[in-house]
Structure 1
């Protein structure tokens, strides 16, 4: 049986062209890194999001599995990437705003995005002082393919 709360995320499902931009760690300044993202249902209770960005030196592949903890009334995401990094994020989604956050001892991170029918405008931010101050890591734009 399909998880009805997860159905609220159905607008994310599909194929997307993805662009990373305004990244403090990329040279030269202003560099845009193109990529692709697919978001699909995984069974009745999960979404699988897979992204690949860039080529050669700027290539990165990552995956999220997004699900729901019904007893906690909360969405959760597990993340992994081609560097061997694994993380857990708390997820919120209200149709127009999508967030993913983690508050781990090594680093706090958050993804904040405005969701439209065919476009998602997001940014990743990080905090090295337990959320007192934040820096933008990069912008991430999704356009429905």
Structure 2
């Protein structure tokens, strides 16, 4: 197996298990675990949580994506990452991704449903505050939800 590309090493800060708390009333915490696979050529993200409580908003209970598995890989031409996403609903998506200077960005442009995520890593590397936004046209954006990752 080839040696790990230096750009992939920027993702080392994500490796490990994180508690994930969506900032949505009625939702408890879940967890995400990042692990290197294929000798450090891909980063695997697996997310899950306890079943949603009855107090969770109906829309969240009906559209619960957990568990989620994602694979992150690198395009070394521009040092941009791609994330392949699949969840329990049968949803499959491809996101473009960057991670540099403590800022994590994901985005996708799909007809009728654009998405973007921005996360900021704390100075000690133990917290990521993030937010997902959505747009029908890629021009007008609204907050979908905020969340915090903690080690």
Q: Which of the residues 94, 105, 130 maps onto 1:122?
A: 130
Deviation at residue 136 of structure 1 after TM alignment: 1.0
Q: Return the alpha-carbon distance in structure 2 between the equivalents of residues 135 and 8 of structure 1.
A: 29
Judging by fraction of residues, say which structure has more helix: 2
Q: Does 1:50 align with 2:50?
A: no
> 1:124 and 1:53, CA in 2 relative to 1: closer, same or farther beyond 3 A?
farther
Q: Which has the higher contact order (CA 8 A, sep 6+)?
A: 1
Deviation at residue 126 of structure 1 after TM alignment: 0.4
Q: Does 1:140 align with 2:147?
A: yes
Give the TM-score normalised by structure 2: 0.83
Give the TM-score normalised by structure 1: 0.87
Q: Does 1:78 align with 2:84?
A: yes
Judging by fraction of residues, say which structure has more strand: 1
Gaps of 5+ in 2: 54-60
Q: Return the alpha-carbon distance in structure 2 between the equivalents of residues 86 and 70 of structure 1.
A: 23
Q: Return the alpha-carbon distance in structure 2 between the equivalents of residues 56 and 97 of structure 1.
A: 30
Deviation at residue 102 of structure 1 after TM alignment: 0.1
Paired residues in the alignment total 136
